[in-house]
Amino acid sequence: MITNTQQSVRENRILSASPDGTSRHPPRPLRIITRAADAFHRMRRRARLRRDLERIDDRIARDIGIPRYELEREAAKPFWRK
């Protein structure tokens, strides 16, 4: 007679990527897609933040203590560069 726990262990081994059932990582194609999606979202966020930096006026820049040239330099960077 097989218990529920034994059945779960067998199912997990069948669904895992490695033959012995010890792998905890998703399949490789899923990892590649996930990493690409994460990179895409990071680049979009950088682009949005840099557009916002362009809109900061001089008064606010002085209030937060960042020189205008630093804001302009950061805003001029391409979205793929950190």
pLDDT value of residue 70: 94
Residue located via tokens 């950088």: 46
Report the distance separating Cα 2 and Cα 6, nearest Å. 6
Task: Say if CB 74 and CB 50 are below 8 A apart.
Answer: yes
**Domain assignment of residue 59, given as a range:** 38-82
69 domain-assigned = yes
Task: Note the pTM of the prediction, 2 decimals.
Answer: 0.59
- Answer yes or no: is 7 within a domain: no
Residue pLDDT, tens place only, 12-53: 554 554 555 566 777 888 999 999 999 999 999 999 999 999
Q: Tell me if 24 is assigned to some domain.
A: no
> Has residue 50 been placed in a domain?
yes
For position 59, what pLDDT does the model report?
A: 93
Answer whether residue 61 is part of any domain: yes
Q: Is residue 79 one of the residues assigned to a domain?
A: yes
